[in-house]
């Protein structure tokens, strides 16, 4: 049964990402990521109890690593623990998502201010430049198909991650990672409003311009300007999220943008 379990999980992991160097990974690690993916994709009903035996079964591991995984996701804020009754999946309001993006922007702003006041190291400069080049390539495409969308998300995440890591403040990076755990709040969670192609293109183009300006401000050592640009960039991102979120074609987007499934439509409140 052990063999079967392992293959089950590995299969489910292969669906979404990297399965390299699994030798150091424990069942717990795999179970955590597998469960995270399931939760973010909306596999479970929101705000109702999530029986741990069912999850263990689904993941194909025993209850021990499952419990570990659920505890981990609780600390990520995705699950809520009910004292003696297990866990439930937490839902998020769109407002909360946007607040998270605002906080994320503030942290990024601190990072760029600090970086600009010192000096941007060559490594990070190159990482960010590469992102900008990549973005230009993506924007040249006629349509934003799944491939382009995926590339954009990866590029955006990389740019913002570099932005934060460049300042070298461990506690800042730590907090940043936490804030990104709110569904849809990370730079990877772009919502592509395919219903309005010209709006979509404008949004992406603006973001691309922002990136360029931010990098230049960094290189010029304009700390305050860079911070302001980053704040505005985040604000725009929040606006876009509010605008684009209701227009999602669920079927496509739920698979493509993990976390969409956890966000309630405006006005809808959780029962309890």
Q: Which residues bind its own copies (CB under 8 A)?
A: 24, 26, 64, 67-68, 71-72, 75, 77, 83-84, 96, 99-100, 102-103, 106-107, 110, 169-172, 174-175, 178-179, 182, 185
- Among residues 172 and 219, whose Cβ is nearest to its own copies? 172
d(CA 122, CA 256) in angstroms, rounded, equals 33
Q: How far is 260 from 244, CA to CA, in rounded Å?
A: 11
Among 22, 38, 58, 68, binds DNA (CB under 7 A): 68
- Placement of tokens 């590469």 in the chain: 130
Own/partner pairs, 115-119, CB within 8 angstroms, 24+ separation: 115/163, 115/166, 115/167, 115/218, 115/226, 116/217, 116/218, 116/220, 116/221, 116/222, 116/223, 116/226, 116/227, 117/221, 117/223, 119/221
Could you tell me the smallest distance in angstroms from the CB atom of residue 48 to DNA? Answer: 10
Is there binding between residue 252 and DNA (CB under 7 A)?
A: no
Options 18, 84, 142, 170; binder of DNA; rule CB under 7 A: 84
| Residue 52 interface partner, choices DNA, its own copies, none, CB cut-off 5-8 Å depending on type | DNA
Stretch of 78-86, 99-107, 160-168, 251-259 lying at the interface with DNA (CB under 7 A): 78-86
Report the partner that residue 182 touches, choosing among its own copies, DNA, none (CB closer than 5 to 8 A by kind).
its own copies
CB-nearer residue toward DNA: 65 or 258: 65
**Which residues inside 87-126 make contact with DNA, applying CB under 7 A?**
none
Residues in binding contact with DNA, number by CB under 7 A:
24
Name the residue with tokens 């999602």. Answer: 248
Per the CB < 8 A criterion, the answer to whether 87 and 50 are in contact is yes
What tokens appear for 238 in the block?
Answer: 């929040």
Name the nearest CA neighbour of 227 among 241, 213, 240: 213
**Which of 17, 20, 83, 272: binder of DNA (CB under 7 A)?**
83
């Amino acid at each position: 049964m052990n063999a079967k379990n392992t293959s089950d999980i590995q299969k489910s992991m292969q669906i979404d990402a990297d399965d390299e160097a699994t030798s150091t990974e424990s069942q717990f690690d795999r179970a955590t990521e597998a469960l995270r993916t399931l939760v973010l994709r909306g596999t479970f009903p929101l705000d109702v109890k999530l029986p741990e035996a069912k999850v263990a079964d689904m993941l194909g591991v025993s209850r021990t690593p499952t419990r570990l995984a659920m505890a981990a996701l609780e600390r990520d804020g995705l699950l809520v623990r009910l004292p003696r009754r297990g866990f439930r999946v937490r839902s998020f309001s769109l407002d909360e998502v946007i607040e998270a993006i605002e906080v994320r922007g503030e942290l990024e702003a601190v990072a760029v201010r600090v970086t600009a006041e010192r000096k941007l190291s060559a490594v990070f400069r190159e990482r960010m430049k590469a992102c900008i080049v990549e973005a230009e390539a993506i924007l040249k495409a006629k349509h934003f198909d799944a491939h382009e969308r995926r590339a954009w998300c990866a590029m955006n995440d990389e740019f913002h991650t570099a932005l934060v890591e460049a300042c070298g403040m461990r506690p800042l990076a730590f907090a940043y990672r936490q804030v990104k755990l709110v569904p849809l709040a990370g730079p990877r969670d772009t919502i592509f409003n395919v219903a309005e192609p010209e709006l979509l293109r404008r949004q992406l183009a603006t973001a691309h311009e922002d990136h360029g300006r931010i990098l230049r401000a960094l290189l010029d050592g304009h700390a305050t300007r860079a911070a302001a640009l980053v704040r505005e960039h985040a604000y725009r991102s929040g606006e876009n999220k509010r605008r684009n979120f209701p227009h999602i074609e669920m079927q496509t987007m739920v698979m493509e943008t993990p976390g969409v499934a956890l966000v309630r439509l405006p006005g809808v409140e959780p029962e309890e």
